[in-house]
Chains A and B, each alone.
Chain A
Amino acid sequence: MKILLGLTFIFLVISFFADRKKTFTGIRKGLKMFLGLLPTILNVLILVSIFLYLVPNETLIKLLGKNSGITGVMIAAVLGSVSLIPGFIAYPLAAILLKSGATYTVVAVFITTLMMVGVLTLPLEAKYFGMKVSLIRNALSFIGALVIGLIIGIFL
Protein backbone atom coordinates (compact mmCIF):
# COMPACT_ATOMS: atom_id res chain seq x y z
CA MET A 1 0.00 0.00 0.00
CA LYS A 2 2.76 2.40 0.96
CA ILE A 3 4.54 1.77 -2.34
CA LEU A 4 1.41 2.74 -4.24
CA LEU A 5 0.94 5.88 -2.17
CA GLY A 6 4.54 6.94 -2.70
CA LEU A 7 4.38 6.13 -6.40
CA THR A 8 1.22 8.18 -6.86
CA PHE A 9 2.77 11.10 -5.02
CA ILE A 10 6.00 11.02 -7.08
CA PHE A 11 4.11 10.79 -10.37
CA LEU A 12 1.77 13.58 -9.31
CA VAL A 13 4.69 15.91 -8.53
CA ILE A 14 6.52 15.10 -11.77
CA SER A 15 3.33 15.42 -13.78
CA PHE A 16 2.41 18.69 -12.07
CA PHE A 17 5.71 20.32 -12.98
CA ALA A 18 5.63 18.99 -16.50
CA ASP A 19 2.11 20.09 -17.32
CA ARG A 20 -0.35 21.46 -14.82
CA LYS A 21 -3.41 21.28 -17.03
CA LYS A 22 -2.76 17.71 -18.11
CA THR A 23 -2.28 16.70 -14.47
CA PHE A 24 -5.66 18.06 -13.43
CA THR A 25 -7.33 16.38 -16.41
CA GLY A 26 -5.73 13.11 -15.35
CA ILE A 27 -6.78 13.43 -11.72
CA ARG A 28 -10.30 14.38 -12.73
CA LYS A 29 -10.52 11.41 -15.09
CA GLY A 30 -9.27 9.02 -12.43
CA LEU A 31 -11.56 10.25 -9.69
CA LYS A 32 -14.54 10.22 -12.05
CA MET A 33 -13.86 6.56 -12.79
CA PHE A 34 -13.56 5.89 -9.06
CA LEU A 35 -16.89 7.57 -8.26
CA GLY A 36 -18.55 5.70 -11.11
CA LEU A 37 -17.44 2.43 -9.60
CA LEU A 38 -17.99 3.31 -5.93
CA PRO A 39 -21.59 2.05 -5.54
CA THR A 40 -20.66 -1.34 -7.04
CA ILE A 41 -17.62 -1.58 -4.79
CA LEU A 42 -19.68 -0.73 -1.70
CA ASN A 43 -22.22 -3.40 -2.63
CA VAL A 44 -19.48 -5.99 -3.02
CA LEU A 45 -17.94 -5.01 0.35
CA ILE A 46 -21.35 -5.34 2.02
CA LEU A 47 -21.79 -8.85 0.59
CA VAL A 48 -18.28 -9.81 1.70
CA SER A 49 -18.84 -8.46 5.23
CA ILE A 50 -22.01 -10.50 5.60
CA PHE A 51 -20.33 -13.58 4.11
CA LEU A 52 -17.43 -13.35 6.54
CA TYR A 53 -19.90 -13.14 9.42
CA LEU A 54 -21.71 -16.26 8.21
CA VAL A 55 -18.45 -18.17 7.61
CA PRO A 56 -15.92 -17.01 10.24
CA ASN A 57 -12.28 -18.09 10.29
CA GLU A 58 -12.94 -20.79 12.87
CA THR A 59 -15.40 -22.45 10.51
CA LEU A 60 -12.85 -22.29 7.68
CA ILE A 61 -10.21 -23.92 9.86
CA LYS A 62 -12.64 -26.62 10.95
CA LEU A 63 -13.67 -27.35 7.36
CA LEU A 64 -10.21 -27.28 5.81
CA GLY A 65 -8.04 -28.65 8.59
CA LYS A 66 -9.70 -32.02 8.91
CA ASN A 67 -10.94 -32.76 5.43
CA SER A 68 -8.25 -34.21 3.26
CA GLY A 69 -8.22 -35.88 -0.12
CA ILE A 70 -10.46 -34.79 -2.95
CA THR A 71 -13.21 -33.60 -0.60
CA GLY A 72 -10.83 -31.26 1.19
CA VAL A 73 -9.47 -29.89 -2.07
CA MET A 74 -12.96 -29.25 -3.45
CA ILE A 75 -14.12 -27.56 -0.23
CA ALA A 76 -10.98 -25.38 -0.33
CA ALA A 77 -11.61 -24.46 -3.97
CA VAL A 78 -15.24 -23.49 -3.37
CA LEU A 79 -14.52 -21.57 -0.15
CA GLY A 80 -11.59 -19.76 -1.76
CA SER A 81 -13.72 -18.82 -4.76
CA VAL A 82 -16.57 -17.28 -2.79
CA SER A 83 -14.44 -15.59 -0.14
CA LEU A 84 -12.70 -12.28 -0.47
CA ILE A 85 -10.16 -12.18 2.32
CA PRO A 86 -7.36 -9.61 2.25
CA GLY A 87 -3.79 -10.98 2.23
CA PHE A 88 -3.02 -9.80 5.74
CA ILE A 89 -5.75 -12.12 7.06
CA ALA A 90 -5.46 -14.91 4.48
CA TYR A 91 -1.78 -15.75 5.03
CA PRO A 92 -1.87 -16.03 8.82
CA LEU A 93 -4.99 -18.13 8.31
CA ALA A 94 -3.16 -20.35 5.81
CA ALA A 95 -0.33 -20.85 8.32
CA ILE A 96 -2.87 -21.92 10.96
CA LEU A 97 -4.45 -24.28 8.44
CA LEU A 98 -1.12 -26.01 7.83
CA LYS A 99 -0.56 -26.35 11.57
CA SER A 100 -4.01 -27.80 12.12
CA GLY A 101 -3.35 -30.57 9.63
CA ALA A 102 -4.36 -29.28 6.21
CA THR A 103 -2.20 -30.50 3.31
CA TYR A 104 -0.12 -28.17 1.13
CA THR A 105 -2.45 -28.92 -1.78
CA VAL A 106 -5.49 -27.76 0.19
CA VAL A 107 -3.73 -24.58 1.34
CA ALA A 108 -2.40 -23.81 -2.16
CA VAL A 109 -5.83 -24.35 -3.74
CA PHE A 110 -7.48 -22.19 -1.09
CA ILE A 111 -4.96 -19.35 -1.50
CA THR A 112 -4.95 -19.47 -5.30
CA THR A 113 -8.74 -19.50 -5.69
CA LEU A 114 -8.91 -16.76 -3.08
CA MET A 115 -6.64 -14.62 -5.26
CA MET A 116 -7.71 -15.55 -8.80
CA VAL A 117 -11.40 -16.44 -8.53
CA GLY A 118 -13.95 -13.93 -7.29
CA VAL A 119 -17.59 -14.99 -7.21
CA LEU A 120 -18.66 -12.08 -5.01
CA THR A 121 -16.77 -9.60 -7.19
CA LEU A 122 -18.37 -10.92 -10.40
CA PRO A 123 -20.80 -7.99 -10.67
CA LEU A 124 -17.78 -5.67 -10.53
CA GLU A 125 -15.77 -7.64 -13.07
CA ALA A 126 -18.75 -7.95 -15.42
CA LYS A 127 -19.02 -4.15 -15.55
CA TYR A 128 -15.67 -4.09 -17.33
CA PHE A 129 -15.48 -7.37 -19.21
CA GLY A 130 -19.11 -8.41 -19.60
CA MET A 131 -20.66 -11.33 -17.71
CA LYS A 132 -19.75 -14.08 -20.17
CA VAL A 133 -16.04 -13.27 -20.40
CA SER A 134 -15.87 -12.80 -16.60
CA LEU A 135 -17.43 -16.20 -16.04
CA ILE A 136 -14.96 -17.84 -18.45
CA ARG A 137 -11.98 -16.14 -16.80
CA ASN A 138 -13.14 -17.26 -13.37
CA ALA A 139 -13.85 -20.82 -14.55
CA LEU A 140 -10.39 -21.10 -16.16
CA SER A 141 -8.77 -19.68 -13.02
CA PHE A 142 -10.70 -22.19 -10.90
CA ILE A 143 -9.38 -25.10 -12.95
CA GLY A 144 -5.92 -23.52 -12.97
CA ALA A 145 -5.94 -23.26 -9.17
CA LEU A 146 -6.74 -26.97 -8.86
CA VAL A 147 -3.83 -27.82 -11.18
CA ILE A 148 -1.49 -25.53 -9.22
CA GLY A 149 -2.54 -27.13 -5.93
CA LEU A 150 -2.02 -30.66 -7.24
CA ILE A 151 1.45 -29.88 -8.60
CA ILE A 152 2.47 -28.22 -5.32
CA GLY A 153 1.18 -31.29 -3.50
CA ILE A 154 3.54 -33.49 -5.52
CA PHE A 155 6.58 -31.43 -4.47
CA LEU A 156 5.77 -30.58 -0.85
Chain B
Amino acid sequence: MKKYILRIAETEYMLFILFGIFILLAHSLNLSSGKIIQNNFWLFFTEMIAFLPFMFILVGLFDVWFPKEKVEKHIGKDSGIKGTFWVILLAMLQAGPLYGAFPVAYMLWKKGASIKNIFIYLGAFSTLKIPMLTFEIGFLGLKFSLLRTLVTLPVFILIGKIMEIYLRDKYFEIRQPDLFRKDKK
Protein backbone atom coordinates (compact mmCIF):
# COMPACT_ATOMS: atom_id res chain seq x y z
CA MET B 1 0.00 0.00 0.00
CA LYS B 2 2.75 2.39 1.03
CA LYS B 3 4.57 1.60 -2.18
CA TYR B 4 1.58 2.63 -4.25
CA ILE B 5 1.10 5.87 -2.36
CA LEU B 6 4.75 6.71 -2.90
CA ARG B 7 4.47 5.92 -6.58
CA ILE B 8 1.48 8.23 -6.99
CA ALA B 9 3.30 10.95 -5.08
CA GLU B 10 6.12 10.68 -7.57
CA THR B 11 3.94 11.30 -10.58
CA GLU B 12 2.86 14.64 -11.94
CA TYR B 13 -0.75 13.68 -11.27
CA MET B 14 -0.26 14.34 -7.54
CA LEU B 15 -1.97 17.73 -7.58
CA PHE B 16 -4.82 16.36 -9.68
CA ILE B 17 -5.47 13.59 -7.17
CA LEU B 18 -5.38 16.01 -4.26
CA PHE B 19 -7.76 18.25 -6.19
CA GLY B 20 -10.15 15.31 -6.68
CA ILE B 21 -10.06 14.57 -2.95
CA PHE B 22 -10.74 18.23 -2.20
CA ILE B 23 -13.75 18.28 -4.53
CA LEU B 24 -15.15 15.11 -2.94
CA LEU B 25 -14.66 16.54 0.55
CA ALA B 26 -16.29 19.81 -0.49
CA HIS B 27 -19.27 17.88 -1.79
CA SER B 28 -19.74 15.86 1.38
CA LEU B 29 -19.35 18.96 3.54
CA ASN B 30 -21.53 20.98 1.16
CA LEU B 31 -19.00 23.77 0.73
CA SER B 32 -19.95 26.35 -1.88
CA SER B 33 -16.28 27.10 -2.63
CA GLY B 34 -15.78 23.54 -3.83
CA LYS B 35 -18.72 23.78 -6.18
CA ILE B 36 -17.55 27.06 -7.73
CA ILE B 37 -13.99 25.79 -8.18
CA GLN B 38 -15.30 22.56 -9.65
CA ASN B 39 -17.46 24.49 -12.12
CA ASN B 40 -14.50 26.66 -13.08
CA PHE B 41 -12.33 23.61 -13.60
CA TRP B 42 -14.96 21.92 -15.72
CA LEU B 43 -15.32 25.04 -17.88
CA PHE B 44 -11.58 25.20 -18.54
CA PHE B 45 -11.25 21.46 -18.95
CA THR B 46 -13.98 21.27 -21.61
CA GLU B 47 -12.44 24.26 -23.38
CA MET B 48 -9.07 22.49 -23.41
CA ILE B 49 -10.29 19.03 -24.39
CA ALA B 50 -12.35 20.46 -27.27
CA PHE B 51 -9.30 21.71 -29.13
CA LEU B 52 -5.96 20.55 -27.76
CA PRO B 53 -6.03 16.88 -28.86
CA PHE B 54 -6.85 18.03 -32.41
CA MET B 55 -4.11 20.58 -32.29
CA PHE B 56 -1.68 17.82 -31.35
CA ILE B 57 -2.94 15.54 -34.11
CA LEU B 58 -2.34 18.37 -36.59
CA VAL B 59 1.14 18.85 -35.15
CA GLY B 60 1.80 15.11 -35.53
CA LEU B 61 0.57 15.11 -39.14
CA PHE B 62 2.65 18.19 -39.86
CA ASP B 63 5.66 16.32 -38.48
CA VAL B 64 5.30 13.33 -40.80
CA TRP B 65 4.32 15.24 -43.95
CA PHE B 66 6.41 18.38 -44.09
CA PRO B 67 10.11 17.92 -44.81
CA LYS B 68 12.48 20.09 -42.84
CA GLU B 69 14.14 21.64 -45.91
CA LYS B 70 10.84 23.01 -47.21
CA VAL B 71 9.75 24.50 -43.90
CA GLU B 72 13.19 25.94 -43.30
CA LYS B 73 13.20 27.58 -46.70
CA HIS B 74 9.89 29.32 -46.06
CA ILE B 75 10.16 30.36 -42.41
CA GLY B 76 13.82 29.71 -41.56
CA LYS B 77 16.70 32.08 -40.88
CA ASP B 78 16.90 33.48 -44.40
CA SER B 79 13.17 33.70 -45.07
CA GLY B 80 12.95 37.45 -44.41
CA ILE B 81 9.67 39.32 -44.33
CA LYS B 82 7.89 36.61 -46.32
CA GLY B 83 8.61 34.08 -43.57
CA THR B 84 7.23 36.44 -40.96
CA PHE B 85 4.10 36.85 -43.07
CA TRP B 86 3.64 33.06 -43.24
CA VAL B 87 3.95 32.46 -39.48
CA ILE B 88 1.53 35.29 -38.71
CA LEU B 89 -0.98 33.86 -41.18
CA LEU B 90 -0.57 30.38 -39.67
CA ALA B 91 -1.11 31.77 -36.17
CA MET B 92 -4.20 33.75 -37.16
CA LEU B 93 -5.94 30.63 -38.44
CA GLN B 94 -5.72 28.87 -35.09
CA ALA B 95 -7.82 28.87 -31.96
CA GLY B 96 -7.52 28.37 -28.23
CA PRO B 97 -5.43 29.73 -25.36
CA LEU B 98 -1.70 30.44 -25.63
CA TYR B 99 -0.57 27.14 -24.15
CA GLY B 100 -1.89 25.44 -27.29
CA ALA B 101 0.71 27.33 -29.31
CA PHE B 102 3.71 25.86 -27.49
CA PRO B 103 3.59 22.40 -29.14
CA VAL B 104 3.21 24.07 -32.54
CA ALA B 105 6.19 26.30 -31.76
CA TYR B 106 8.17 23.19 -30.87
CA MET B 107 7.29 21.56 -34.18
CA LEU B 108 8.16 24.70 -36.18
CA TRP B 109 11.47 24.86 -34.34
CA LYS B 110 12.17 21.20 -35.05
CA LYS B 111 11.52 21.86 -38.73
CA GLY B 112 13.97 24.74 -38.84
CA ALA B 113 11.96 27.92 -38.25
CA SER B 114 14.04 30.89 -37.13
CA ILE B 115 14.01 32.07 -33.51
CA LYS B 116 12.50 35.37 -34.57
CA ASN B 117 9.64 33.67 -36.41
CA ILE B 118 8.97 31.32 -33.47
CA PHE B 119 8.39 34.23 -31.12
CA ILE B 120 6.46 36.19 -33.73
CA TYR B 121 4.29 33.11 -34.06
CA LEU B 122 3.62 33.12 -30.30
CA GLY B 123 2.82 36.83 -30.39
CA ALA B 124 0.47 36.53 -33.34
CA PHE B 125 -1.16 33.44 -31.86
CA SER B 126 -1.92 35.18 -28.59
CA THR B 127 -3.24 38.43 -30.08
CA LEU B 128 -4.42 37.98 -33.68
CA LYS B 129 -6.36 34.70 -33.87
CA ILE B 130 -9.32 35.22 -36.18
CA PRO B 131 -11.87 33.41 -33.94
CA MET B 132 -10.82 35.70 -31.11
CA LEU B 133 -10.90 38.83 -33.27
CA THR B 134 -14.52 38.17 -34.21
CA PHE B 135 -15.34 38.08 -30.50
CA GLU B 136 -13.39 41.26 -29.90
CA ILE B 137 -15.13 43.14 -32.72
CA GLY B 138 -18.50 41.97 -31.43
CA PHE B 139 -17.94 43.21 -27.89
CA LEU B 140 -15.52 46.12 -28.21
CA GLY B 141 -16.16 47.35 -31.74
CA LEU B 142 -14.26 47.33 -35.01
CA LYS B 143 -12.41 50.56 -34.26
CA PHE B 144 -10.88 49.26 -31.03
CA SER B 145 -10.03 45.90 -32.57
CA LEU B 146 -8.41 47.42 -35.65
CA LEU B 147 -6.38 49.89 -33.63
CA ARG B 148 -5.25 47.20 -31.18
CA THR B 149 -4.21 44.94 -34.05
CA LEU B 150 -2.22 47.69 -35.78
CA VAL B 151 -0.44 48.68 -32.56
CA THR B 152 0.18 45.10 -31.42
CA LEU B 153 1.70 43.88 -34.69
CA PRO B 154 4.95 45.91 -34.52
CA VAL B 155 5.26 45.22 -30.78
CA PHE B 156 5.45 41.44 -31.10
CA ILE B 157 7.61 41.63 -34.20
CA LEU B 158 10.00 43.70 -32.12
CA ILE B 159 9.82 41.13 -29.31
CA GLY B 160 10.74 38.45 -31.88
CA LYS B 161 13.73 40.52 -33.00
CA ILE B 162 14.88 41.10 -29.41
CA MET B 163 14.61 37.38 -28.62
CA GLU B 164 16.60 36.58 -31.74
CA ILE B 165 19.38 39.00 -30.87
CA TYR B 166 19.42 37.80 -27.26
CA LEU B 167 19.51 34.10 -28.13
CA ARG B 168 21.73 34.34 -31.20
CA ASP B 169 24.98 33.44 -29.47
CA LYS B 170 23.43 31.23 -26.83
CA TYR B 171 22.63 27.58 -26.93
CA PHE B 172 18.85 27.63 -27.28
CA GLU B 173 16.49 24.80 -28.05
CA ILE B 174 12.80 24.12 -27.68
CA ARG B 175 12.28 20.81 -25.99
CA GLN B 176 9.45 18.38 -26.21
CA PRO B 177 8.10 17.39 -22.78
CA ASP B 178 8.71 13.67 -22.63
CA LEU B 179 5.99 11.20 -21.83
CA PHE B 180 8.17 8.94 -19.69
CA ARG B 181 10.59 11.36 -18.14
CA LYS B 182 10.39 11.76 -14.41
CA ASP B 183 10.84 15.26 -13.12
CA LYS B 184 12.83 14.97 -9.97
CA LYS B 185 13.67 18.15 -8.23
Contact = CB atoms under 8 A, between A and B. Distances in A.
Contacts of B127: 112, 115-116
B167 A133 contact: yes
Interface in B139-185: 139-140, 143-144, 147-148, 151-152, 155-156, 158-159, 162-163, 166-167, 172, 174-179
A111 to B, nearest CB: 8
A104 B144 contact: yes
A8 B163 CA distance: 31
Contact of B65 (A15, A39, A104): A15
B140 A156 contact: no
B140 A137 contact: no
A26 B57 contact: yes
B64 A25 contact: yes
A2 to B, nearest CB: 8
A33 B56 contact: yes
B58 A8 contact: yes
Size category of the B interface is 35 or more
B52 A53 contact: no
A49 B47 contact: no
B56 A53 contact: no
B5 interface: no
Contact of A49 (B41, B138, B166): B41
Nearest to A151: B151
Interface stretch (B67-75, B81-89, B102-110): B102-110
A33 B140 contact: no
Contacts of A151: 151
A53 B131 contact: no
Contact of B11 (A30, A39, A137, A140): A39
Size category of the A interface is 35 or more
Majority secondary structure, B binding face: helix
A106 interface: no
A46 B57 contact: no
Contacts of A155: 147
B57 A37 contact: no
A41 B130 CA distance: 24
Interface of A: 1, 3-5, 7-8, 11-12, 15, 22-23, 25-37, 39-46, 48-50, 52-53, 84, 86-88, 91-92, 94-95, 98, 104, 107-108, 111-112, 115-116, 118, 121, 124-125, 127-130, 133, 136-137, 140-141, 144, 147-148, 151-152, 155-156
15 contacts: A1-B95, A4-B54, A8-B58, A23-B61, A25-B60, A26-B63, A30-B63, A33-B176, A39-B11, A108-B144, A116-B98, A124-B102, A144-B156, A148-B148, A155-B147
Given A46-B16, A91-B140, 19 more contacts: A4-B94, A7-B58, A12-B61, A27-B60, A29-B59, A33-B60, A35-B179, A36-B179, A39-B11, A40-B12, A44-B99, A49-B41, A84-B44, A86-B44, A92-B139, A94-B139, A128-B102, A136-B166, A144-B156
